[in-house]
Amino acid sequence: MATDNRINFWRRNPKVPGSVQPVYGAQHPPLDPRLRRTYPKDTKPKFNNLKSKKACSFHEFACSTNDAWDIDDEEDENFCGTPFPASFAPSVEETTASVHNQKLRHQKGDTESALPHSLTPPRNERHGLQKDNPSECERVNGKFVKSSSDADLNTSSVRSPLQKQQSLPVRPIIPLVARISDQNASGAPPMTVREKSRLDKFKQLLASPNTDLEELRKHSWSGIPREVRPITWRLVSGYLPANKERRELVLKRKREEYFGFIEQYYHSRTDEHYKDTYRQIHIDIPRTNPLIPLFQQPAVQEVFERILFIWAIRHPASGYVQGINDLVTPFFVVFLSEFVTEDVENFDVAALPLETQRNIEADSFWCMSKLLDGIQDNYTFAQPGIQNKVKALEELVSRIDADIHNHFKKYEVEYLQFAFRWMNNLLMRELPLRCTIRLWDTYQAEAEGFSHFHLYVCAAFLMEWRKEILCMADFQSLLMLLQNLPTIHWGNEEVGLLLAEAYRLKYMFADAPSHYKR
């Protein structure tokens, strides 16, 4: 009952003072209920007054809730297997049920219950006796004795409110922000028939002597299966040719060409002309996805430094601009996943063969270069591409939803104040990395996906938070919301709905200039 009260309290009061709002890019360490939920021996937690009394501070709110947000499976097992500390006194229901069971066993002539309490073996020892001597446990003095597992089943339904509070929630399918793997990776339900059929279709297209790139893009629009994503991204980005026989030759040549650039230019990073560029790259690299251990490894950071420095000196019109460092990460993760079966976010890249590391680095460089070729005006002087896209977003929103547009005008919120980052980083700071990878499946399948279609995705993304935006009644609250949108639990389903809405907006406005402009 206490748990139900807390759940209802949470649903009816989503914004209590001091509540923890999920913010992408900020770390929220899970609070362990075992550490912060301790009560004196003779007291019990009281939650009956939650409906009438609202939390007035973070301390009161933390004391009235018992969330276990992302506790590992190992901790689940240890927690459930260890006895309660002395501070957790047994409840009245538990004691009553225990006495009742002892009386029943005594009436049936249960020899175990006749033993003194101090001589009765603990439950885990009784399990061990069952395994070692099953016949002795099943039959004692010619009478059948209930096994402890049966007793567990009988008493499991009688649980005190305190035990219910200590039971941990089911681990969610969609992981938190530090998780890279999508819902089709480990820990998710088995592959459905539809997913298997899609995977077979991709494999069939990729196995043909000349891959039909238009058909491949058509199937990629709805998401690419994890198993074939690396080769598909290389093809749809234009890095690899459609002809299967030529791919190995092209890969070898492009990889050698990249490391030729390294030998030719990388030593100049300390030169007077380039040291400022290298210094800025060196500062930005550790800030790239700081919550994901993979990107804090020295070997990975060195790879990113080389990729970004070589790109910058080969594109002097723009050079390196803050934000470009984020654009490497999806390619690096996807190409790394080709060689990693476990969780990518914790994988030690230095454990891979040196040749494999070099191949991942070169492929990430060339695919990022292909992407930036289409949006380089976003990063040239004064960043005119971003300025134009933000203005286009403002005009589009004014047509789609006048209420939001007028709400921004009323509280003097400029689109540039929040949408600049959306365009500069392609929503990578707004979405978990797993969602960005799914989003880029569609961007690479869509004509001008990173430049043109991204505008409609941003508009659909803004409309997603319509209700929350209209509830904010001051400039500061609006800007805080728009810069910290709660997408931490988003997965493939949410991204799919976002893309569908973006496609609808594109269909309505892209070929209708009179609708788009005043």
pLDDT at residue 242, rounded to an integer: 95
The pLDDT value recorded for residue 192 is: 85
Q: Is the pLDDT of residue 384 over 80?
A: yes
Is the confidence at residue 154, as pLDDT, over 50?
no
pTM > 0.75: yes or no:
no
Least reliable range by pLDDT among 121-125, 389-393, 427-431: 121-125
Strands (E), 321-467: none
- List the one residue out of 16, 19, 36, 38 whose CA is nearest residue 28: 19
Q: What integer pLDDT is reported at residue 117 of this predicted model?
A: 42
pLDDT in tens, 256-284: 999 999 999 999 999 999 999 999 999 99
Among residues 309, 363, 353, 308, the alpha carbon closest in space to that of 332 is found at 363
**In terms of pLDDT, which residue wins out, 482 or 116?**
482
Fold of 384-510: Cyclin A; domain 1 (1.10.472)
**Candidate from 6-15, 84-93, 383-392 with smallest mean pLDDT:** 84-93
The mean pLDDT of 204-225, rounded to a whole number, is 95
* Cross-strand bridge partners of residue 139: 144
pLDDT at residue 456 in the model: 97
Residue 52: which residues within 8 A CB-CB, separation 6 or more? Answer: none
Give me the pLDDT at residue 179, please.
62
Contact between 405 and 398 (Cβ < 8 Å): yes
Q: What is the mean pLDDT of the chain?
A: 76
pLDDT of 419-433, one tens digit each?
A: 999 999 999 999 999
Confidence of residue 500 (pLDDT cuts 50, 70, 90): very high
Give per-residue pLDDT as tens, 35-76.
444 444 444 444 444 444 444 444 554 454 444 344 444 444
pLDDT in tens, 222-257: 999 999 999 999 999 999 999 999 999 999 999 999
* Averaged pLDDT, 199-220: 95
Residue-wise pLDDT tens digits, 442-455: 999 998 899 999 99
pLDDT confidence of residue 512: 66
Supply the DSSP symbol for 243.
Answer: B
Question: If pLDDT is split at 50, 70 and 90, which confidence band does 194 have?
Answer: confident
> Which segment of 87-96, 240-249, 331-340 scores lowest on mean pLDDT?
87-96
pLDDT at residue number 61: 42
Element (H, E) at 431: none
Looking at the chain, the domain(s) classified CATH 1.10.472.80 span 384-510
Q: What span, in angstroms and rounded, lies between the C-alpha atoms of 135 and 115?
A: 20
**Residue 334 and residue 198: Cα distance in Å, rounded?**
19
